[in-house]
Amino acid sequence: MLMPDESFVFPFVSIIIPAKNEERDLSSCLRSLINQSYPADRFEILLVDNGSDDETVSIANSMGIRTLSAEGFKIGGVRNYGAGFASGEILAYIDADCVAPKNWLTCGVKLLENNELGAVGGKARVRGNATWVESAWALPQKRKDLVLTSILATGSFFITKKLFDQIGGFDEEVVAGEDTQISARLIKEGYMLGVSSNLSVVHLGFPRTIKEFMKRQFWQSSDYIKTKKSHTDKVFILVHVFTITVFSIPYFILNDEYLKSICSLSFTVVLALALATYRFYKSAASFDFIYFSQVFFLNYFYLSARMLGLASSYKKLFSTNFIK
């Protein structure tokens, strides 16, 4: 665990929470932030509401949290709106359905002392009573104080306000993938990105059913083409290969080439198996046939949903170019 020494000066931190209809998990998130080990007078919490029609704002107000209204913005705009009201030297982003460990702020601030790091963050862990879908997607993580990465998720994301303003904040045009965009710009500016298990958060909002999972993955890939960093991403390429292979199946069937259609279908299975094997290998999970089978099936659904999102992304791109 990274802890400050006696000479450590606690900079003021602004915690920014984008939220829309988060009444189910918001109170758990806020309690974890209010109870941080970081000095209470050295951080503020800003909840940026994106047009909730449930009790999200009421819950935040009842817990003494400052709320801002950013209705009508896309997710990058919501994040930027919060930064515009932030008083801190450091911005700490967390999603409204995530629970932070007690030393989350302290560890994040301490890591940013390394001037070569443009931003730091953590991955998402599952809750205690997770469904098989949650467990098969968020595999157990290997504990490491710091590992360099090319993309930081914004569910747990630390950056100095100065650097954030310097690079122009988040992209406000994309529906999803703003984390990929800002990561790419930071790397382009010569900064490294670090992910630490000390900054991992419990994600209460992981999809709990196949239907929810498919919807989430479709949404997250709906702006695949706009996100430039995606173009060199291995998973982005894998989704393209999967998509082309799936679309070849009806073509072969219509041309009475049934053996080729079976081979194409088999190849989609191989792609999902390869992705599942890679993710399993990179995790801290112990091999169990049933568990691995669940991971495999979920990765097949993942590629299928991303394929549909990719098709939607291309459709929007062609429609925009046609109108122009």
- Whether 321 has a pLDDT exceeding 70, the answer reads no
> Among residues 44, 165, 148, which one has the least CA distance to residue 105?
44
> Among residues 51, 56, 65, which one has the least CA distance to residue 15?
65
Please state the rounded mean pLDDT for residues 161-189.
87
Residue 323 tokens, joined: 């109108």
DSSP string, 123-185: -EE--TT--HHHHHHSPPPPP-S-EEES---TTEEEEEHHHHHHTTSS-SS-SS-HHHHHHHH
- Whether 7 has a pLDDT exceeding 70, the answer reads no
- Whether 26 has a pLDDT exceeding 90, the answer reads yes
140/148 Cα distance (integer angstroms): 18
List the beta strands (DSSP E) in the chain. 13-19, 43-49, 66-69, 90-94, 98-99, 117-121, 124-125, 147-149, 156-160, 192-195, 201-203
How confident is the model at residue 223, as a pLDDT? Answer: 66
Q: pLDDT band at 63, cuts 50/70/90?
A: very high
How confident is the model at residue 181, as a pLDDT? Answer: 85
- Whether 212 has a pLDDT exceeding 90, the answer reads yes
Q: Which has more confidence, 221 or 86?
A: 86
Average pLDDT, the chain: 89
> Among residues 153, 146, 158, which one has the least CA distance to residue 112?
158
Please state the rounded mean pLDDT for residues 287-294.
92
How confident is the model at residue 311, as a pLDDT? Answer: 83
15/44 Cα distance (integer angstroms): 6
- Tell me the CA distances in angstroms from 93 to 162, 205, 211, one per residue in order: 15, 16, 28
- Tell me the CA distances in angstroms from 152 to 17, 78, 138, 193, 317, one per residue in order: 16, 18, 15, 7, 26
24/205 Cα distance (integer angstroms): 9
Largest CA distance in the chain: 75
Which domains are seen in the chain, by residue range? 13-206 (3.90.550.10), 211-323 (no CATH)
Q: Which has more confidence, 118 or 282?
A: 118
Q: How many CA atoms lie within 13 A of 122 on its CB side?
A: 31
For 156, phi and psi rounded to 5 degrees? -155, 100
The share of the chain scoring above pLDDT 70, in percent, equals 92
CB 72, CB 140: distance < 8 Å: no
How confident is the model at residue 248, as a pLDDT? Answer: 96
Element spanning 211, H or E = helix 210-220
Element spanning 249, H or E = helix 234-254
Angle (CA) 225 306 255, round 5°: 100
Amino acid at 51: G
How confident is the model at residue 323, as a pLDDT? Answer: 52
How confident is the model at residue 127, as a pLDDT? Answer: 87
Residue 272 tokens, joined: 């999902």
For 105, phi and psi rounded to 5 degrees? -65, -45
Please state the rounded mean pLDDT for residues 118-124.
93
- Whether 221 has a pLDDT exceeding 80, the answer reads no
